[in-house]
Chains A and B, each alone.
Chain A
Amino acid sequence: MDAIEIILDGGLFSADVVARAAHRYTGDYYAETVSTPAGALVRLTPKTDHVSTALLAERFRNDALDERLRERVRTETGELHTSLVRAALQQAAPLLTAGQEQ
């Protein structure tokens, strides 16, 4: 089966974003990502004949854009997320006896 190649602008899409988007396709496709001077090259090869390749490049580009949004949310909220979970669950932490304190 022929692979489908998609090139994404390296200035817009970080390597992490490209890898995350490609990972979502690893159920039905073998995925390869390569950094090239033209940008990030993604090669998707269907694992079986039954896998649809209709609008595959278009779907991938949409997903990459969504991953870019997620990256932006992560960057802005990552630290806050950790602090909030810690604060919320503080009450659920077991009380340590003197001998157990670290």
Chain B
Amino acid sequence: MKFVPQDAFAGNTGYRLLPLRFRRLPWDDDRVLVTSMAGDWLIAQHKDFERVVEGKLDCTEPLFAEMEARHLIAADPNHSTLAPLLSQYRTRKSYLEHGPALHIFVVSLRCHHTCAYCQVSRQPVGNTIFDMSEATAAHAVERLFEWPAPTLTVEFQGGEPLLHFVRVRTLVEAIEQRNRSEGRTLRFVIASTLHDLTDEQLAFMRDHQFELSTSLDGPEWLHNANRPRPERDSYQRTIEGIERGRKALGEDAVSALTTLTRRSLEAPHEIIDEYRKLGFHSISLRPLSPYGFARKTEVRNGYPMADFLQFYEVALDHLLAINREGYFMEETYGRMLLSQLLTPFSHGYVDLRSPTGAGLGAVVYDYDGRVYPSDEARMLASMGDHAFALGRVDESVSAWLDSPAMQRVLAAGVAEALPTCADCAYVPLCGADPIDHYARQGDTIGHRPTSDFCRKQMGLFDLLLQRWEQGSATDQRILEDWALRATRRGIAREAEAA
């Protein structure tokens, strides 16, 4: 038997380009990352990519099949379908389907801490006029159920929400009462210092399956310096709170976040080792944001984004080393970016959405009855800038969506349409943050070449991609494991981390 030559099987040997973007790799100028509109990607030699764009790629080359498989080119339009690409795009954007899942209730602005980097302009402990009233809470519950999301994450924030626990309690009871007819899946989270946590509060949280999210900035010297209390025992109280929370609600019910000041940047290993010592398997390394008292103390505590990225690189390598030793530990933001890079799935992380997660993924009900599309918008409001107030809790959700503030957010909320982002290879995996750009640059659209948001995103995507591409098989497996865990956790859990 004789085989006929290969060209006998070829149909139309030409191809057409599909929407794509590319970026030269910072660690290898001769190669490019090429991404499809749905976020599928490959790395190719720049000279080969040029041939692709010029229509000179031969259908017998391995790159041809690879580009076709990743929806970067389409061969033979008469026989190929774009349905898989559409499906992939819908999957990537599926967070659009149900509206906001994360609902933040600010029950009080009071707090017993005096953190210099406080982003919400907290109030002294005795100032009860900064507590959410019963009437405001009742309206907020009504509004909560106007949203269509089948899963509602209700997060209580402050100030320190434990200082107004009576409101937490009445809100939970009202929400559960109403949910008997609504049948939504509910998650309750409380973001708290966990200081002065009472047995009664813990019992209530256990009965309603709360998750606890607290702040732990690292070892004792660093935590106490960043988060002072008059008694100088902030670290000790936090550790006690974590232990009591775990005992009452379970090991996995308590998570912690790190806010990085300038002095934190000198201690990446110590911060991570502290989390490991306490048995955490997850750490969030968050740079300072330009809100509240953090803006006032920026000269003392702030730092350029380049310093954060340097810190993150050291931290990532330390985390990889810890994982190689057999102790699983992930960084939550890196995990989200890796899930974008290495899986086709959607996620609930509000900061990484396009269209923006502000108002479309999250809503904030402030103590005074004002409503905001994001925590950053309410932080701006606490500084006296109400540019992004959607309305009040006694108005309808549709009125909020029609508000000038929401229209302003939406007008700058699609990353794929923003200057520079429109051409960025990472944009299918990234998000738009108009409120952050407004806060930092005074403009919701923003100027990407000087944008800290963009520097952070690009810097972290580049770093993670490089570590994955150039890492050992073990490091690749560790990073892939982070990415897969992110997708397994699902939308609701990730929204909480936002």
> Which residue of B has the minimal Cβ distance to A79?
B19
Q: Which residues of B contact A84 (CB under 8 A)?
A: 19, 37, 82, 85-86, 89
A91 to B86, CA, bound (A): 11
Q: In the complex, what's the smallest C-beta–C-beta distance from A65 to chain B, in angstroms?
A: 9
> Which residue of A has the minimal Cβ distance to B447?
A26
Q: Which residues of B contact A25 (CB under 8 A)?
A: 449
A23 x B419 contact (CB < 8 A): yes
| B interface residues, how many (CB within 8 angstroms) | 29
Chain A contact residues: helix, strand, loop or mixed: helix
A73 x B20 contact (CB < 8 A): yes
A89 x B24 contact (CB < 8 A): no
Pick from A20, A66, A77, A87: contact of B17, CB under 8 Å? A77
B53 x A69 contact (CB < 8 A): yes
B93 x A92 contact (CB < 8 A): yes
Q: In the complex, what's the smallest C-beta–C-beta distance from B138 to chain A, in angstroms?
A: 28
Q: Which of A27-78 contact B (CB under 8 A)?
A: 27-28, 62, 66, 69-70, 72-73, 76-77
A91 x B18 contact (CB < 8 A): no
A76 to B97, CA, bound (A): 30
Q: Which residues of A contact B17 (CB under 8 A)?
A: 73, 76-77
Pick from A69, A70, A77, A92: contact of B90, CB under 8 Å? A92
Pick from A24, A69, A91: contact of B420, CB under 8 Å? A24
> Taking the complex as formed, is A12 at the interface, i.e. its CB lies under 8 A from any CB of chain B?
no
Q: In the complex, what's the smallest C-beta–C-beta distance from B43 to chain A, in angstroms?
A: 15
A4 to B423, CA, bound (A): 26
Chain B contact residues: helix, strand, loop or mixed: mixed
> Which residue of B has the minimal Cβ distance to A67?
B423
> Taking the complex as formed, is B22 at the interface, i.e. its CB lies under 8 A from any CB of chain A?
yes
Q: In the complex, what's the smallest C-beta–C-beta distance from A31 to chain B, in angstroms?
A: 10
Q: Which residues of A contact B24 (CB under 8 A)?
A: 62, 66
Q: Which residues of B contact A89 (CB under 8 A)?
A: 89-90, 93, 96
> Which residue of A has the minimal Cβ distance to B99?
A94
A79 to B22, CA, bound (A): 19
Interface string of B408-442 (1 = CB under 8 A from A): 00000000000110010000000000000000000
A27 x B449 contact (CB < 8 A): yes
> Taking the complex as formed, is B16 at the interface, i.e. its CB lies under 8 A from any CB of chain A?
yes
A27 x B86 contact (CB < 8 A): no
Q: In the complex, what's the smallest C-beta–C-beta distance from B426 to chain A, in angstroms?
A: 14
Q: Which residues of B contact A28 (CB under 8 A)?
A: 449
A91 to B83, CA, bound (A): 13
Q: Which residues of A contact B49 (CB under 8 A)?
A: 69
Pick from A23, A81, A91: contact of B19, CB under 8 Å? A81
A92 x B96 contact (CB < 8 A): yes
> Which residue of A has the minimal Cβ distance to B449?
A27
A81 x B53 contact (CB < 8 A): no
A27 to B85, CA, bound (A): 35
Pick from B18, B54, B86, B96: contact of A87, CB under 8 Å? B86
A26 to B97, CA, bound (A): 37
Q: Which residues of A contact B20 (CB under 8 A)?
A: 73, 77
> Which residue of B has the minimal Cβ distance to A81?
B19
A-B contact pairs, 25 of them (CB 8 A): A20-B423, A24-B420, A25-B449, A69-B22, A69-B49, A69-B53, A72-B54, A73-B17, A76-B16, A76-B17, A77-B18, A77-B19, A80-B18, A81-B19, A84-B37, A84-B89, A85-B89, A88-B86, A88-B89, A88-B90, A89-B89, A92-B90, A92-B93, A92-B96, A92-B97
